[in-house]
Structure 1
Amino acid sequence: MKELIRELVETYGPSGHEDIVREVIKGKIEDKVDKIRTDSLGNLIALKKGKDSSKKVMLAAHMDEIGLIATHIDDNGFVRFSNVGGISPHMLLGTRVLFNGETVGVIDKEGKLDDISKLKHEKLYADIGATSKEEAEAKVKVGDTASYYRQMDDLGDRIVSKAIDDRIGCVVLLETLNRLKNKPTYDTYFVFTVQEEVGLRGAQTSSFGVNPDLGIAVDVTLTGDMPEAQRMEVGLGKGPAIKIKDNSVLVHPQVKNLMIDIAEENNIPYQLEVLVAGGTDAGAIHLTREGIRSGALSIPCRYVHSPSEMVDINDIDNGIELLTNLLESNYTGLFE
């Protein structure tokens, strides 16, 4: 599973440019599902038929990662940029980024800044090694995007990389599909969404098309287990987190209780998550059409939206086990 994680997290794919990631995922699942398609926005939607086709379940994980977009190239070849998703200017100083998956740039700031808290994106620039505007434009053009340029590092039980948010959710979906021993109870749609980092856009269109009876987003969540971290019950290595609330959704109590019951019945460690800021694809799914019973399963992650996000392999494995058991269980009472 670590090699699968490495392949996905090191693949280039900021919001709106998920094509390469999508092709990698498609190649891994097309012979394991009954139908597969890509919708107009770019979401990859794969159907695994269940024993009962009267209900539809949608599992969603987003393929995109946060990034930058070039807005101006000056006469000396320096690239100005804006953010694509929630990327802090303070996180970028001295960081290497990759434009279009091939051109390396180094981020620095203009002049001297006495108060680092006032740092804004417009005071930053990317140095791609060019000496003129013409040389720079041969490599990067206005509108081109960039992602963090980092490889995955294996620390044993812990993994560090860029783009764990949310390629790790994609891994959970892929491995859940691999571990199914039987047909799922209901028709299950494994949906790999686009543009989550800029407003849950892929989840909005794909859930409208699928129109599921149950939707579960798989994403990362913050933790409270670092020195002087914000107080939060979630920590690495204590199991996947079953969401109760975030800024985008109040999880349907039946869905929350279903996941808790599945975890306890199968002796799977879990945590309960109340996230005071941020959201997931569940926020878009639950508002689709006349409303969808929705929830979220979260993989605890330190240093979210940084070049070095950290997760615990045991939380990932237990998240896969929870979803696999859920899909194969009898939960008809959810729809009564």
Structure 2
Amino acid sequence: MDGLLNRLVTAFGVSGHEDAVRNIIIEDLERLQVNYTIDKMGNLIVALNNKEGKQDNKKYMFTAHMDSIGMICTYIDSKGFCRMGALGGFKPANMVNNFVQFENGVLGRVGIEKDGGDIEDLFVDIAVNNREGALEKIKEGHVASINGYVLENEDFITAPNLDNRVGCYILLKTIEKLVENKEFLSNIDKELYFAFTTQNNLGGRGARAAAYAIEPEYCIVIDMEDTKDCIGAKGKLELSKGPAIKIMDRTLIMHHEIKNIIEGAANKMELDINYFVGEDASEGGTIHKEVDGVKTGTLCIPCRYLHTNEEMVSFKDIELTRELIFNML
């Protein structure tokens, strides 16, 4: 596996605490000698081809969120158990008996008070006997990320935090290819913006701020979607079949011009693109309403076991998505 992808996946980056992920991205951008800005929300934005007088004033924005799901300590009881709240959407049952790691390095085991319990029934055991002992390690308000192993199995990678570090990786590799192909980049008559955004799991707050600042005409969100193609589950998305177009979700109907752009690039590649309707919201739901409106769509990498400590993605899908984005340009 690419060392950059491994560093992104293993970095701490719960919503609102994306610093470590952003620093890895900065390190790669500085290697490429690419300029970037960081806004007040912590978004990292790269602008290419935005020299005055060259463009037709149309701005194209590509986004991928840096944050991952996690938990926040809301209360430490008298026995030292940490009561937890959710940062992002996940099923409590998927977290039970797994480990989490707080930002200061403290490890804890996730438990639940009753079978079939909800988020408020979750607790983290950090191996202490009382509240005083726990307070020596963590305090209310501290956040924790889902812990797990990074495993490679032939054409697949299994790890926590693939959502959406894979998207960040794809954008970085797209920037790298553009920088290495200066003549190709100079012939593109559009302004290109790549936004690595914060707090997607808290309502897409970072993406909203980035869209407001950039004011793009078009935006393509790179994200992940649960395949639900495992045994006993319903759904049509599959690994290794390439990225998928999200036609609509709870907050966004893909703009037809974005759909045409993606389909045109896919046709050049002779790629049979997948289509689906999503259940959850995405960054696109906040982006498309900014300023005077942004033509927005979401391109998704299929993922098994999304929002668990063992998400699974195909390397083939990562490469096909990289190639598709470059062909869009």
Shift of 1:138: 1.6
- TM-score normalized with structure 1 length: 0.91
Q: What does 1:1-336 align with in structure 2 at a 5 Å threshold?
A: 2-32=2-32, 35-49=35-49, 52=55, 54-110=57-113, 113=114, 116-117=115-116, 119-180=117-178, 181=181, 182-183=184-185, 184-230=188-234, 232-275=235-278, 277-327=279-329
Unaligned runs of 5+ in 2: none
Q: Quick one: distance in 2 between partners of 1:224 and 1:66?
A: 19
> Equivalent residue of 1:54, what SS?
coil
Superposition RMSD on alpha carbons, in Å?
A: 1.6
Q: Quick one: distance in 1 between partners of 2:324 and 2:218?
A: 16
> Equivalent residue of 2:206, what SS?
helix
Letter paired with 1:9: V
Letter paired with 2:300: S
Q: Quick one: distance in 2 between partners of 1:150 and 1:7?
A: 14
Provide Cα deviations, 1:126-181, integer angstroms capped at 9, x if missing partner.
11112232221121110000011113111121111111111111011011112223
Letter paired with 2:166: I
Runs of 4 or more, structure 1, over 6 Å off, are none
Letter paired with 1:236: L
Are the equivalent residues in 2 in contact too, given 1:172–1:316 (CA < 8 A)?
yes
Identity of aligned residues (%): 36
- TM-score normalized with structure 2 length: 0.93
Change (3 A) 1:224 1:79: closer
Provide Cα deviations, 1:4-43, integer angstroms capped at 9, x if missing partner.
2211111111001001111111111135465311111111
Provide Cα deviations, 1:308-330, integer angstroms capped at 9, x if missing partner.
11111111100000101112xxx
Provide Cα deviations, 1:49-78, integer angstroms capped at 9, x if missing partner.
266262211100000001100011122221
Are the equivalent residues in 2 in contact too, given 1:107–1:124 (CA < 8 A)?
yes
Are the equivalent residues in 2 in contact too, given 1:47–1:189 (CA < 8 A)?
yes
Q: Quick one: distance in 1 between partners of 2:56 and 2:129?
A: 61
Q: Quick one: distance in 2 between partners of 1:34 and 1:175?
A: 13
Letter paired with 1:237: S
What is the aligned residue count? 320
